Structure 1
Amino acid sequence: MEVLRGSAAVAAGVVTESQLRGPNWVRVLPDTYVARGVELDLRVRSVAAFRHVGANGVLAGWSAAELLGVRAAPHDAPAEVVVPAAGRRVHQGLVLRRDRLRRRDVWLLDADGRRRPHADRSRVLAEGGVHVTSPERTAYDLARREPGLVRAVVAVDAVANACRIAPSAVLDVAVRNRGARGITRLPRVVDLADAAAGSPMETRLRLVLVLAGLPRPTVQHPVLYDDARTAVWLDLAYPEQRIGVEYEGAQHAGVEGLVRDADRYTRLVTAGWRMFRYTKQDVLRGPERIVADLRRALRPPRCT
């Protein structure tokens, strides 16, 4: 195991106390150790937080999302655990919450991230498994707690896409938790969400357009190459106007990416598409220009 609860591991004979104090383990929380050399990313920090709190804890928020396979957490996201009682000491990088969770809200994951029946709880936890909030509950919690509307939609898009759930599932959880803090904005978040979104920055690009009052674009629109009988997928599109809008991330860098994109965009332009391509810098620091570009492009041509 790469993460250990020290006292439990010593009692089980996995390691000795002197080994835990040696060069092969790093103490990250009281009585909680990570093997030296293991990157302290959100997944590892979350598992460590779960070991620290104990088997009655449930990973939630971005911690749950990470363990569920969602790769969209902010770089500074803390480990987050729902605990049955308050009064635990606060530690930097760890958020403890008291909240009401129903059985359907909690999944048991084994060390490989696969869901297991609750009947196997003791064995799975002993072998490195964890409790996490379900995808629906995770999206619900992030939707009501993320600061700002845009970040909330980004979170719901990411969980819905990775876990193959409908954004509307967030509202089903809200119905079971009437009166909970933050739920009044959930209908707006769900209305703006789209499970087809391919990345957080694609979501942000879409929201730049929609929140400025432009028509809602189609997400992940397929364009068929008739000659090759293959299709490309546009991040965003206005099919009737043959306008495509794409976010250019790191995957487009490098010689291979440039060559692939050159052929792709040549084919699209030849097929009559007008393509608009934007970077992270454009989305975060120049949204007004994006809106102006697309507003002009969508304007009906003047009659002559």
Structure 2
Amino acid sequence: MTDVHEAPAADVERLRAAVRVLPPAAVLTHQTAAMLYGFGVVPTNELHVTVPAGTPLPQRRGVAAHGAVLPFAEVRDVLGLRCLGPARCAVDLARQLGRHDALAVLDAALRVGACTLDDLADEVARHEGLRGVRQARELVRLADPRAACRQESHLRLTLHDGLLPPPEPQLAVYDDAGRLRCRVDLGYAEERVAVLYEAETRVDQPRHNWLATRGWRMCYFTDADLYKDPYELVQTVRTALYHPH
């Protein structure tokens, strides 16, 4: 499962119309630029723009205007729209969003190839001293392009915060002949524990049965588990890892 999509043509046309009434120095940023770059995993109804330091912030309904503290080191043309560079947008979001969504943005930026880990690390260094940079620095170290969707990033960070060993995203599982049989969202190969996110309560029964016959223990979690009772989620995985019987 993936939650990264290309920007719909209707959204691009709406943005083109909106920027015509903004200051010429304004550039698209944050969630708006992330959507254009392909890592818009945190939705927003607002148009996010950044203006250079000293430029009055535009006061328009539906526009979230940000005043730049750092100079615009990179501005790109994306589908005819001026955007701050992808690493800058990802790190700005990583500084300002909640931790779970911040990691999801960084994972997605890497997944679609908008930037590299080195790009993100360099950008974090440029943000030194700004609010939220400690969070961004921590999460850049945890970012992984193999996370397939926003919720998998959330799930991985929940396990990390629960002081469990880091699972491998999209762990490949092979049969006795060495053929790829399936992948699990998050997995511990040595312990044969699979941690799976399900948008709703359902199980891939053939995969479940095949893994179970080979000694794998499956931990299935939905949104209710992930967002309402993360402590119990962590305890379930801990039990599977250290007290399998």
TM-score normalised to structure 2 length: 0.83
Percent identity over the alignment is 32
Q: Which runs of 5+ in 2 are unaligned?
A: 1-7
Q: Which runs of 5+ in 1 are unaligned?
A: 1-37, 111-128
CA–CA separation in structure 2 for the residues paired with 1:106 and 1:216:
35
**Conserved? CA contact 1:49–1:81, under 8 Å:** no
Partner AA of 1:273 in structure 2: W
RMSD: 2.7
Partner AA of 1:102 in structure 2: F
Give 1:200's aligned residue.
150
CA–CA separation in structure 2 for the residues paired with 1:169 and 1:272:
41
Given the superposition, is the C-alpha separation of residues 173 and 51 from structure 1 closer, same or farther in structure 2, using an over 3 Å criterion? same
Q: Is the aligned partner of 1:150 residue 2:96? A: no
1:132-155 CA-to-partner distances (Å, cap 9, x unmatched) read 122211111111111x32222222
> How many residues are treated as equivalent by the alignment?
236
C-alpha displacement of 1:98: 2.3
Correspondence for 1:80 among 35, 48, 57: 48
1:40-74 CA-to-partner distances (Å, cap 9, x unmatched) read 76x56544433332553211001011001124123
What does 1:115-130 align with in structure 2 at a 5 Å threshold? 129-130=80-81
C-alpha displacement of 1:77: 4.8
Secondary structure at the residue paired with 1:160?
Answer: helix
Structure 1 stretch 276-285 or stretch 148-157: which is displaced more? 148-157
Given the superposition, is the C-alpha separation of residues 244 and 181 from structure 1 closer, same or farther in structure 2, using an over 3 Å criterion? same
Give 1:22's aligned residue.
none
Give 2:215's aligned residue.
272
**Conserved? CA contact 2:28–2:48, under 8 Å:** yes
Larger Rg: 1
1:76-124 CA-to-partner distances (Å, cap 9, x unmatched) read 4521111235334422321112214434x221122xxxxxxxxxxxxxx
Correspondence for 2:90 among 129, 139, 161: 139
The higher-RCO structure (CA 8 Å, 6+ apart) is 2
What does 1:1-304 align with in structure 2 at a 5 Å threshold? 46-53=15-22, 55-74=24-43, 76-84=44-52, 86-99=55-68, 100-103=70-73, 105-110=74-79, 129-146=80-97, 148-163=98-113, 165-226=115-176, 229-249=179-199, 261-299=204-242
Partner AA of 2:78 in structure 1: L
TM-score normalised to structure 1 length: 0.69
